[in-house]
């Protein structure tokens, strides 16, 4: 039994999730304090990957990071190539999952009671402390929801991933690309197996979130 | 004076103009909602930035637009009690209060300070409660304890009692006033309630449409508001335009009468005010024939409305407020008012400059 697709999918999803967690929060925080017009424009740009077909995202990624494109060629000279490598999957999954984190976190930040931050400032608390100890805990519901959505999206990413890193068994194969490949070569049992694996992971993730949420309610 | 502020801020077509000095006492800014009171406090605390001006606290410059000084809120030493108390919802009472003691001494010292605050603000036994588990009064005391432990040089109170139920409010007013007296530092409070301003403060400044009028001793302001804006906000019910008709005579065309005043009038008189409590049925001074216009009962008082015979069409009824048992069997034919209770009102003038132009230097501060 080759477990590589599971291992690869999990590490791509986990690393993308961490990346998207920080970048999403960063952009959400700054976007929520921008003037309305700038925010509107930034919002469209940052949300586009969510509404574009993933294959179109993959196409754009190839336009930038393709081996014959300036950026891709430059990176290749330094030993980094996103095309047909497992870590290219991180790039693809992150781009597609980013808007989910960004939008949910932004919603949470916008409903934050700003007087809490002001109170912290007048009490002499540093802005870093206020952000991590006051703003983030108050917004944790939205941020947690965003993180889970981003993880789930990254785990299930197919379109952009297959465009950018293709399917190479044991090197770039993920669960979703494996399902497609096995089905294509009429290995229905194999495809079904990976479908069940995917279902199991998603169920566990959702159950965990529900449990965390109910526990928080009890703690309040 | 401990606090000196003179600044200006433009917000859309709203102009905030504040000139203010406050010593070791409780000073209030009294004004309707949306008049710029909270913005004033935010500018002093450093949460909002004035367009230009100068703010000084105990000789330290907090803000100076000319010298490009703008201390962050963390460095101003200003405590701010927010209207909703702004307790951190995820922290216990204990952690909330300790937030005010960050970076001040050892762990032992902080614990000692915390213990004193819990005692002073009667929060013992509530240390491990979350803010959502506290009553409104307990929340307010926690917020005050959190501010006091940080030992601010100036305390700003933003509508401190408006979030409380009416029956709690009066008890807490007395309690908070005692605590603030013991604190002995400069306190600046904003409120829309004339009762709160009267109960709590030594001096009051009326704010109208973003402009702070002169800050005056509280009793003086209520006895002689001096401007229409101050008369309205201190609760004067009967105000009408008036003209100078003599050193002690005010012509009130709207009411069709000429009133004698005790105060000597200036020629730029614009209006007169009469508080609803001061009318006397059948008096001899300033007595004019009246007709009954309506009445309304309150828990302990009666409001009787009347009109002067010859009062202009479309003008508001006159309010007369009296104790229930004093309500006349038959409505009087004439009602008088003592000349001392006729309040002359003039055009509003912004407060005098705190820093005379061109002499904004180090000397004299």
**Nearest in space to B210 (alpha carbons), one of B11, B360, B2:** B11
pLDDT computed for residue B362 by the predictor: 40
Task: Identify the residue among B39, B44, B90 best suited for mutation to test binding to A, counting A beta carbons within 10 A and taking the highest.
Answer: B90
Residue ranges of chain B with pLDDT lower than 50?
356-365
Q: Do A122 and B103 touch (CB under 8 A)?
A: no
Task: Identify the residue among A124, A126, A131 best suited for mutation to test binding to B, counting B beta carbons within 10 A and taking the highest.
Answer: A124
pLDDT computed for residue B322 by the predictor: 92
- Closest alpha carbon within chain B to A115: B86
B250-287 residue pLDDT tens:
999 999 999 999 999 999 999 999 999 999 988 889 99
pLDDT computed for residue A215 by the predictor: 65
Q: Do B47 and A119 touch (CB under 8 A)?
A: no
- Closest alpha carbon within chain A to B130: A220
Task: Identify the residue among B71, B99, B117, B188 best suited for mutation to test binding to A, counting A beta carbons within 10 A and taking the highest.
Answer: B99
Q: Give chain B positions within 8 Å (CB) of A113.
A: 84, 86
Q: Do B99 and A125 touch (CB under 8 A)?
A: yes
Are residues A190 and A175 in contact, defined by beta-carbon separation less than 8 angstroms?
A: no
The answer to whether residue A124 neighbours chain B at the CB level (below 8 Å) is yes
Helices A4-31 + A175-184 axis angle, to 10:
130
Q: How long is chain A?
A: 220
Assigned token pair, B166: 């009416």
A186-206 residue pLDDT tens:
999 999 999 999 999 888 888
Assigned token pair, B350: 């912004």
Are residues B269 and B344 in contact, defined by beta-carbon separation less than 8 angstroms?
A: yes
A134-185 residue pLDDT tens:
999 999 888 988 898 899 899 989 999 999 999 999 899 999 999 999 999 9
Q: Give chain B positions within 8 Å (CB) of A124.
A: 74, 100, 102-103, 150
Q: State how far the Cα of B233 lies from the Cα of B231, in Å rounded to an integer.
A: 6
Q: Do B147 and A134 touch (CB under 8 A)?
A: no
Residue A16 has pLDDT above 80, yes or no: yes
B305-332 residue pLDDT tens:
999 998 998 899 999 999 988 888 888 9
CA-derived radius of gyration, chain B: 24
Burial B59-87 (b: 16+ CB within 10 A, else e): eeebbbbeeeeebebbebbbbbbbeebbb
Nearest CB partner across the interface for A122, out of B78, B102, B103: B78
Residue A218 has pLDDT above 70, yes or no: no
Burial A20-34 (b: 16+ CB within 10 A, else e): bbeebbebbbebbee
Assigned token pair, B209: 């449409």
Nearest CB partner across the interface for B88, out of A116, A121, A124: A116
Q: Do A123 and B42 touch (CB under 8 A)?
A: no
pLDDT computed for residue A209 by the predictor: 77
DSSP state of A102: H
Assigned token pair, B187: 């306190």
Element containing residue A115 per DSSP (H, E): helix A114-122
Percent of chain A with pLDDT over 90: 70
- How many CB pairs below 8 A link A and B? 64
Q: How long is chain B?
A: 365
Assigned token pair, B271: 């209006």
Q: Do B45 and A118 touch (CB under 8 A)?
A: yes
- When pLDDT is cut at 50, 70 and 90, the band that residue A33 belongs to is confident
With an 8 Å Cβ cutoff, the interface of chain B facing chain A consists of 42, 45-47, 72-74, 76, 78-80, 82-84, 86, 88-90, 99-100, 102-103, 130, 132, 146-147, 150, 152
Q: Give chain A positions within 8 Å (CB) of B46.
A: 121-122
Torsion over CA: B124, B129, B133, B138 (sign): positive
Q: State how far the Cα of A138 lies from the Cα of A86, in Å rounded to an integer.
A: 36
Beta-bridge partners for B252: B257
- Closest alpha carbon within chain B to A113: B86
Cα A105 to the center of its chain, rounded Å = 13
Question: Within 10 A of B95 (CB to CB), how many other CB atoms are there?
Answer: 16
Task: Identify the residue among B82, B86, B130 best suited for mutation to test binding to A, counting A beta carbons within 10 A and taking the highest.
Answer: B86
Q: Do B150 and A123 touch (CB under 8 A)?
A: yes
Q: Do B45 and A122 touch (CB under 8 A)?
A: yes
CA distance A46 to chain B (A): 30
Residue A217 has pLDDT above 80, yes or no: no
pTM of the model: 0.83
Mean residue pLDDT of chain A comes to: 90
Question: Within 10 A of B325 (CB to CB), how many other CB atoms are there?
Answer: 7
Pick the CATH number of A4-219 from 1.10.3720.10, 3.30.930.10, 3.40.50.2020, 3.30.360.10: 1.10.3720.10
Question: Within 10 A of B113 (CB to CB), how many other CB atoms are there?
Answer: 21
Nearest CB partner across the interface for B132, out of A120, A121, A220: A220
The interface pTM score, or ipTM, of the predicted complex is 0.84
Average pLDDT over residues A92-116: 93
Q: Do B86 and A116 touch (CB under 8 A)?
A: yes
Show Cβ contacts of residue A137 under 8 Å, excluding neighbours closer than 6 positions: B90
pLDDT computed for residue B17 by the predictor: 93
Q: Do A124 and B72 touch (CB under 8 A)?
A: no
Parallel, antiparallel, or unpaired for β B60-64 and B211-217? unpaired
CA distance B88 to chain A (A): 7
């Amino acid at each position: 039994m080759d477990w590589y697709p599971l291992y690869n999918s999990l590490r791509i999803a986990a690393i993308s999730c961490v990346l998207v967690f920080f970048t999403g929060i960063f952009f959400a925080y700054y976007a929520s304090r921008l003037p309305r017009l700038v925010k509107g424009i930034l919002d469209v740009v940052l949300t586009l990957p969510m509404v574009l077909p993933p294959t179109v995202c993959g196409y754009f990624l190839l336009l930038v990071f393709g081996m014959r494109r300036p950026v891709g060629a430059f990176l290749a000279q330094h030993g980094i190539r996103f095309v047909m490598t497992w870590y290219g999957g991180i790039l693809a999954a992150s781009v597609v999952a980013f808007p989910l984190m960004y939008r949910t976190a932004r919603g949470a930040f916008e409903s934050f009671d700003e007087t809490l931050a002001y109170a912290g400032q007048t009490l002499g608390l540093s802005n870093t402390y206020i952000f991590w100890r006051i703003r983030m805990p108050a917004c944790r519901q939205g941020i947690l929801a965003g993180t889970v959505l981003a993880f789930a999206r990254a785990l299930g990413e197919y379109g952009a991933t297959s465009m950018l890193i293709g399917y190479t068994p044991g090197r770039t194969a993920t669960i979703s690309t494996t399902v497609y490949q096995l089905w294509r070569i009429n290995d229905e049992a194999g495809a079904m197996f990976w479908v069940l694996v995917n279902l199991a992971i998603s169920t566990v993730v959702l159950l965990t979130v529900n449990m965390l949420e109910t526990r928080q309610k009890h703690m309040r | 004076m401990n606090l000196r502020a003179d600044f200006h801020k433009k917000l859309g077509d709203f102009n905030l103009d504040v000139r203010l000095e406050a010593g070791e006492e409780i000073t209030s800014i009294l004004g309707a909602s949306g008049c710029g009171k909270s913005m004033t406090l935010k500018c002093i605390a450093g949460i909002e930035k004035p367009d230009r001006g100068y703010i000084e606290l105990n000789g330290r410059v907090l803000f100076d637009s000319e010298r490009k000084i703008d201390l962050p809120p963390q460095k101003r030493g200003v405590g701010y009690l927010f209207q909703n108390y702004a307790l951190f919802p995820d922290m216990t009472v204990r952690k909330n209060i300790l937030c005010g003691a960050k970076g001040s001494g050892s762990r032992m010292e902080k614990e000692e300070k915390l213990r004193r605050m819990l005692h002073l603000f009667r929060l013992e036994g509530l240390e491990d409660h979350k803010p959502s588990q506290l009553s409104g009064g307990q929340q307010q005391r926690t917020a005050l304890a959190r501010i006091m432990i940080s030992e601010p040089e100036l305390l700003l109170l933003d509508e401190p009692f408006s979030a409380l139920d009416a029956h709690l409010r009066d008890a807490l007013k007395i309690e908070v006033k005692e605590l603030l007296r013991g604190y002995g530092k400069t306190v600046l409070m904003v409120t829309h309630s004339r009762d709160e301003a009267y109960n709590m403060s030594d001096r009051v400044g009326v704010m109208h449409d973003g402009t702070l009028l002169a800050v005056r001793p509280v009793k003086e302001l209520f006895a002689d508001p001096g401007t229409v804006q101050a008369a309205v906000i201190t609760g004067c019910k009967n105000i009408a335009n008036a003209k100078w008709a003599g050193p002690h005579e005010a012509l009130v065309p709207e009411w069709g009468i000429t009133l004698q005043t005790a105060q000597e009038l200036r020629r730029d008189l614009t209006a007169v005010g009469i508080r609803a409590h001061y009318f006397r049925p059948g008096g001899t001074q300033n007595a004019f024939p009246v007709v009954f216009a309506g009445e309304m009962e309150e828990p302990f008082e009666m409001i009787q409305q009347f009109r002067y015979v010859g009062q202009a069409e479309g003008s508001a009824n006159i309010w007369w407020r009296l104790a229930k048992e004093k309500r006349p069997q038959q409505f009087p034919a004439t009602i008088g008012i003592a000349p001392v209770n006729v309040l002359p009102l003039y055009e509003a003038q912004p407060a005098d400059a705190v820093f005379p132009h061109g002499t904004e230097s180090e000397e004299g501060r």
